[in-house]
Structure 1
Amino acid sequence: MSARTRETGEMFGPRMTLFADVLALGVVTALACLPLITAPAALSTACALVRDTRDDKPVTARRYVALLRERLRPGDLVAGAVALAGALLFAADLALAGAGLPGARVFAVTAAVIGACAVIVGLRACARPESIGDWRAAARAAAGDSARDVGGSALVLLALAASVLCAWMMLPLAFLVPGPLVMALTAIDVRHVRMPHGETA
């Protein structure tokens, strides 16, 4: 965003305006995620909208809906189906681990680690510009980013944990948290791109 100063009579500066826009973006993104199968496309579109603020493009619900309509192609729905199937499989694995089977504790820890890695790659893929047209390329790039940028991957987990905690503490916040989460994911991706090659933080 441009660093313009507050104009006469303007209640909030540009940074507060962006924050308000991100909260509004969180509401429309949460609604777009409700069918579940549309969640990857919804998050990816929101990340693209936040990334466009660097070019002074507006973050509005109308623009989000317009971009999302262009996005809902078969590839986006397949990505959503894969993510949903993975989540259901993870839940089933944890249910089996809780049934008291031999080696359940080791199995649960292993499943949790694999699930965390999958979530990191999936969320980072949503923040990648490639996700607009090629989910496979976005997933490959996100997997590489996750391995090279361990600090960024930890930030992704922290951002997700904070979002889940806020939604758990106050249910109405569940319709707002996608906005800050998307902003965090986009910032992490931009931060990694700007880092010198091979540097980690």
Structure 2
Amino acid sequence: MSQTHPREPGELFGPRMTLFADTLSVGLATAVACLPLLTAPAALSTACAVLRGAGEGRPATAGRYASLLRRRLGLGDLAAGAVTLAVLLLCAADLALARTGLPGGPLFAVAAAAVTAGAAMVGLRACARPESLTDWRAAVRAATGDTAGDLGGTGLILLALTTAAAGAWALPPLAFLAPGPLALALTAVDVRHAGRRG
């Protein structure tokens, strides 16, 4: 006979669905917070912090997400967003130039794609680091080491990013929910790697 867990007040589907529902609500809040583009790193970092808190007994709700994001958005977060946007625009321009038929263009396109993928992995891992809430430089330094030192985790993040992009491409309305599962994957990989470091 299986044991049933009592439902908490306000819990509709039982404890097994709570994290899934919280992940989707945090993902939707993250998608809305990312719309100005400059706030994207702070929005994803906040989503990771909220989902990390769920493992520590704190509620992972859109309300807690909005409160934490309001308290932290500052000049450093906007600068991180500006750097991210500049890197993405530079990579897009480089890839566009590589397709114009310049000598060595295909080889350059492969190299630019590899550099872009590496930068994306470092950026995503930085968002998952707890340091990103207060110090982006420390988070990026630590994430650079994590990206190279934990190739399995980096591969999992690449798979999570590919899955989120494919889901958003196949069903565009899913793009508004994709940041939640992506943040959950980033947080899970960082918590697993932190356990190994500790």
Report the counterpart of residue 131 of structure 1 in structure 2: 132
Alpha-carbon contact 1:5-1:13 (below 8 Å) kept = no
Cα deviation per residue 1:122-148 (whole Å; 9 max; x = unaligned)? 000000000000000000000000110
Runs of at least 5 residues in structure 2 that lack an aligned partner in the other structure: none
- 1:35 maps onto 2:72 in alignment: no
Provide the residue aligned with 1:121 in structure 2: 122
Counterpart check, 1:7 vs 2:3 = no
1:7 maps to amino acid = P
Point out where structure 1 has 5 or more consecutive residues left out of the alignment.
Answer: none
CA drift of 1:56 comes to 1.1
Aligned-residue sequence identity (percent) comes to 62
Question: What displacement does 1:12 show?
Answer: 2.5
The 8 Å contact of residues 97 and 107 in structure 1, kept in 2 or not, is answered as yes
Deviation at 1:196, TM superposition (A): 5.5
Give distance in 2, aligned partners of 1:58 and 1:153: 28
Using the TM superposition, give the Cα deviation of residue 15 of structure 1 relative to its aligned residue in structure 2, in angstroms: 2.6
Match of 2:178 in 1: 177
Do the aligned residues in 2 keep the contact of 1:6 with 1:12 (CA within 8 Å)? no
Counterpart CA distance in 1 for 2:145 and 2:99 is 33
Map of 1:52 onto structure 2: 53
TM-score by length of 2: 0.94
Q: Deviation above 2 Å: which 4+ runs of structure 1?
A: 8-13
Partner AA of 1:159 in structure 2: A
Residue 80 (structure 1) aligns with: 81
CA distance in 1, matches of 2:115, 2:7: 53
Please give the TM-score of this superposition, normalised by the length of structure 1. Answer: 0.93
Q: C-alpha offsets along residues 41-94 of structure 1, whole Å, 9 cap, x if unaligned?
A: 000000000000122111111111110011111000000000000000000000
